[in-house]
Amino acid sequence: MSDDYKVFEDKMKKSIEVLKTQFASVRAGRANPAVLDQISVDYYGTPTPINQVGSIASPDPRSLLIQPWDKGLLKAIEKAIQESDLGINPQNDGTAIRLAFPQLTEERRKDLTKQVRKYAEDTKVALRNIRRDAVDKAKADKKKSVITEDDLKIAEKDLQNLTDKYIKEVDNVLAGKEKELMAV
Domain ranges of the chain: 2-24+105-183, 33-100
Residue type at 64? L
- Residue 81 contacts residue 90 (beta carbons within 8 Å): yes
Whole-number average pLDDT of the chain? 86
Predicted confidence (pLDDT) at residue 184 exceeds the cutoff of 70: no
Q: Is 108 exposed, middle or buried (0-12, 13-18, 19+ CB in 10 A)?
A: middle
* Nearest alpha carbon to residue 132 among 16, 8, 15: 8
The CATH T-level fold of domain 2-24+105-183 is Topoisomerase I; Chain A, domain 4 (1.10.132)
Calpha distance 172→152 (Å, rounded): 30
* pTM of the predicted model over 0.75: no
Task: Summarize pLDDT for 47-68 with one digit per residue, the tens.
Answer: 888 888 888 888 887 788 889 8
Q: 100 by DSSP, 3-state: which? A: strand
Calpha distance 173→26 (Å, rounded): 13
For residue 110, give the H/E element and its range: helix 106-143
Task: Summarize pLDDT for 83-133 with one digit per residue, the tens.
Answer: 887 777 888 888 888 888 777 778 878 888 898 999 999 999 999 999 999
Predicted confidence (pLDDT) at residue 161 exceeds the cutoff of 70: yes
Predicted confidence (pLDDT) at residue 1 exceeds the cutoff of 60: no
33-100 in CATH: which number? 3.30.1360.40
